[in-house]
Amino acid sequence: MLSIVRERSVLVVLLCVTCAPSVWMVAASAEEPVEPDPVVQAEEVVVSATKTPVPASQVTSAVEVITAEDMKKQNIRTVVEALQLAQGVVIFSNGGPGTEANARIRGGSSSQTLVLIDGAIVNSGTLGSYNFANLTTDNIDRVEILRGAQSMLWGSDAMGGVINIVTKRGQGPFAAGGFVEYGSFASLREGGTVSGKQGAVDYSLSLSRWDTSSFSAVNYRRGATERDSYRNWQGSGRIGVDLPHDGRLDFNMRWMNSDKQLDNLSAIAPSDVYGSKLRSQEYVFSGSYEQPITGWWSQKLTLARSQENSLFLPGTLQRNLVTGAFSTPFGSPNETRVLSNRLEWQHNFQVTKLLLLSAGYQFREQQGENDSGLVNSILSSNAGFAQAQFNLWDRVFATAGIRQDSYNVFGDATTYRFTGGYYHKETDTKLRAGYSTGFRAPSMNELFFPNFGNPNLGPEKNQSMDMGVDQYFFSKKLKLTGGFFWNRYRNLIVTTFDPVFCAPFSTFGFCPQQLGDASTKGWEAGLSYTYSSDRPFLKSVILQAQYTNTLTRDLETQSRLPRWPTDQWSVIVSYQPIDPLWITVTGRYVGSRFNTTGDRQNLPAFDVWSLAVTYDVTKQLQAYLRAENLFNEKYEEVASAGTPIRSIFGGLRVTFGGKS
């Protein structure tokens, strides 16, 4: 059966590519019309890799950028859907829209992936990870994914990588827009935006709502009959002010309000739960002030806060899907409140054209409490970092940096990073390599949760190395990438049953200890190709594909790390036959993996395909269609969690004024 699925996957790719045969036959036809001169576009700039704007061709770290245009073309609703197609990233949903979804990079855990929204750290202080469940793509300009240990620049939680999410910036004359969408699972979405720039002030504001009522959180194929509703309100805004002498003020806000019905997921005995809900409100605020002081000295001050209140309701009744027995769900209503503050002041010194020095200070504070016994606890740190960036003749690039963090709970952590790259302009080839160290501070639950937490825990640590090559052809229309990565994790915090060791912290015998050691390694490959012409029914073809091989090993048990597939790939084919029409096919393959530790609860491989179509009816009106799970694949991302059957969604987008 798996071979049939793989053959089917290959056929889809071939059909999408062969629908535009001229892509491969241009060189063979001497009588074809001459292609128009390509449009010169500004090179993409990456910020998260160095905390300064750097052209993509000069970045010496492994980074991927997903733009708003990419997400719009694929009719993507959530950041989760975008990240599922990214290189080296694994992100699974615990049962459909609104359920928990955490991102992991290159074999690391979700608490080892730092997530920022407009400069605010949104990782939970109690759990350590960030839940992407409610984050839609509304008003998001770009998502930068930085792979490998990045603690030297970003501190704790960045030992696996960084996901940096940036809100759109208003530009041009006033513009307004709106959308409405309806589809499978009684899903209804609607929203609106306004944006523009008036004098020195620019603005971009959005508000949206998403409701669905017919998607079961536990897999309906296991016998679930109750359907779980989901409601999500989301608002965001960015207001900027251009100051004299190239200065700038930026203010950002994002608000998420959700209500999601839950089930009891279990690989052995899942249950339909009636009345169980998770209600949450999340706020993200940030402000920044950038100002050049002299021609060679500039500074940026960032203040940010994220906070979340979530109320868990256990429900009134549950039905075991294996035995059919009814029982009362365990637990009582429990509210969790977390808060994260960040202040950073960075100075950049352009010493010479060849050397840029950066130095900064960061204060970070996390607070958390819940109704199940965790009293208000505080994790805080002060950090200083310094980095040198070298650029020799726009060919040789290097970075070197060091950071010192001082925490109130365990003391100090020192991290560093070295990267280098060489760009051979004559052949359009870039080589890069890097070595870095990282750390993660223990979470509040691991330190202080009543009858469990171990206050003697120290930081997790790792070493990270990668190397890669980027090769361009045909004036950068074709890009091939390849690379190797390696990580070594030490002092990992794991929950163990050890009544003797845990006696001071737990009467149940369970507590966290620093016993874990693990390693991950693998290789990555990618391809992107863009073709455009004035030929009939062949305006443009865009092909993107990536493959990641990840070998993980728990060095204590010699087993694989849970929920990490050895093989994964994705492919995106976009075809524009005429100006107003785009057709995009996406495919995602995830190899077999184990749902839990010790190579237990095997989950089979799966591949899922989707289709997106957009058509510009007029300059102001666009109709779109999205079909998910085209072949009705039967699969589970997490054991017993629900996944969509073949489903279809359609909608309209309308814009007024400038580009919204």
pLDDT in tens, 471-509: 999 988 999 999 999 999 999 999 999 999 999 999 889
Q: Which two tokens stand for residue 300?
A: 């940026």
The helix or strand, by DSSP H or E, that contains position 281, with its residue range, turns out to be strand 277-292
Confidence check: pLDDT of 599 > 70:
yes
pLDDT in tens, 129-150: 999 999 999 999 999 999 999 9
pLDDT in tens, 285-321: 999 999 999 999 999 999 999 999 999 999 999 999 9
Percentage of the chain exceeding pLDDT 90: 86
Count of beta carbons in the 10 Å neighbourhood of residue 392:
12
Q: Which two tokens stand for residue 242?
A: 């251009």
Confidence check: pLDDT of 75 > 80:
yes
Determine the Cα–Cα distance for residues 329 and 266; give it in Å rounded to an integer.
Answer: 14
CATH superfamily of 2-26+62-657: TonB-dependent receptor, beta-barrel domain (2.40.170.20)
Confidence check: pLDDT of 45 > 90:
no
Q: Which two tokens stand for residue 7?
A: 């053959």
Alpha helices in 19-55 (DSSP H): 22-25
Whether residue 589 contacts residue 569, with contact meaning beta carbons closer than 8 Å, is answered with yes
The pLDDT confidence band at residue 659, using thresholds 50, 70 and 90, is: low
pLDDT in tens, 523-549: 999 999 999 999 989 999 999 999 999
Confidence check: pLDDT of 71 > 80:
yes
Buried b or exposed e, range 288-312, using 16+ CB within 10 angstroms: bbbbeeeeeebbbebbbbbbbebbb
Query: Can you spell out the DSSP letters for 538-556?
Result: EEEEEEEEEEEEEEEEETT
Q: How far is CA 557 from CA 2, 426, 461, in A?
A: 30, 49, 19
Q: What is the pTM of this model?
A: 0.92
pLDDT in tens, 153-180: 999 999 999 999 999 999 999 999 999 9
- What is the structure's pLDDT at 41? 53
Mean pLDDT of the chain: 91
Q: Which two tokens stand for residue 209?
A: 């709502």
The pLDDT confidence band at residue 42, using thresholds 50, 70 and 90, is: low
Mean pLDDT for the stretch of residues 637-643:
95
- What is the structure's pLDDT at 407? 95
**Phi, psi at residue 131, to the nearest 5°?**
-95, 115
- What is the structure's pLDDT at 44? 81
Confidence check: pLDDT of 19 > 70:
no
The helix or strand, by DSSP H or E, that contains position 68, with its residue range, turns out to be helix 68-73
Of 79 and 214, more confident: 79
The pLDDT confidence band at residue 380, using thresholds 50, 70 and 90, is: very high
- What is the structure's pLDDT at 125? 92
Determine the Cα–Cα distance for residues 526 and 545; give it in Å rounded to an integer.
Answer: 6
pLDDT in tens, 443-456: 999 999 999 999 99
